[in-house]
Structure 1
């Protein structure tokens, strides 16, 4: 590597968000605290069992595999090329990242966020119609099909808090992969 532009980019947290009430978007915070087995302290989606309204209606005793929502900041530039303006927290994520292929991680990968927090990846976010209520046509940017007809979801990933801790914008992210064979992410 001969120049700074050839150096690998460090994965990092670029923004953190939470909301104590149901709302599509989440306000930016200076920091959030992750609680082991629960999620983001003070966030409406924290808990051992499901908190997303559609899932609660189906079965409120389901385990909460969606305690933390992470989304890649690179998506904002991608949808920007199609004319959409999206900022961190506006798609309801708790953690906005840069420099890491979240969608390419396997189920069970551990994301070490900052000095203490660890999130275990459980699956893909399943983007819903609320995205079109936020910006009409945006849902088609986040859910599409490949040439073989398989659904591609770009709305980020979900996880459970394996180890608690406080995270802030600028914190580094490292990944521990589970043993092989790796299981690709599916919607949760």
Structure 2
């Protein structure tokens, strides 16, 4: 596997499913991506904001492995940077296998992984049936049905969410250094 690095970066000022690829993004501590609709110290996800507007934002930065695009291509879906709403597209790193609270150094910036992105019905609205590329049963069978809560019978592969612990600029080609948390290694749960 190649050394972990950033493949592409994206952001969007509006709450849309996909984000616009950029030459660079700027991360701000305890805030997220400058100019992105999901940036903020408190929850910015529209449906969650209605119910818990003061909840801390555990979804400031969305990271997605570019290797997922090989899976989608085999299923007949051609995807590119920003299509699935990610801010940082990575290569050479199994994001989904990381434990909670792993720090990822993206050049000078540092993000702390908070949990899994929970695939929602918007994925199928973006491309009919695409959910089966990011949601599997524990026995490896794809499923196209959205899942609520922490159902342990499914495996989510739609990327991970993180918060910014140290700001900085992130550009394609930036190397990624992984710092595992000390102590007990807790598996990622949907956030």
What band does the TM-score fall into relative to the shorter chain? over 0.9
Match of 2:184 among 172, 181, 184: 181
CA distance in 1, matches of 2:45, 2:159: 16
CA distance in 2, matches of 1:150, 1:109: 24
Give the match for residue 116 of structure 2: 124
CA RMSD across the alignment: 1.1
CA distance in 2, matches of 1:19, 1:187: 23
Match of 1:93 among 76, 86, 96: 86
* TM superposition shift of 1:180: 2.6
Q: How does 1:28-177 map to 2 (within 5 A)?
A: 28-114=21-107, 116-147=108-139, 150-177=153-180
Give per-residue Cα distances to partners, 1:90-118, cap 9 Å, x unaligned: 0000000000000000000000001x100
Structure 2 regions of 5+ residues with no counterpart?
141-151
CA distance in 1, matches of 2:25, 2:157: 24
**Who wins on radius of gyration, i.e. which is larger?**
1
CA distance in 2, matches of 1:110, 1:56: 26
CA distance in 2, matches of 1:69, 1:161: 11
The runs of 4+ residues in structure 1 deviating greater than 2 Å are none
1:11 and 2:4 correspond: yes
CA distance in 1, matches of 2:57, 2:138: 29
CA distance in 2, matches of 1:104, 1:71: 12
CA distance in 1, matches of 2:179, 2:50: 34
Structure 1 regions of 5+ residues with no counterpart?
1-7
Give per-residue Cα distances to partners, 1:33-83, cap 9 Å, x unaligned: 000000000100000000001111121111000000000000011111111
CA distance in 1, matches of 2:125, 2:16: 12
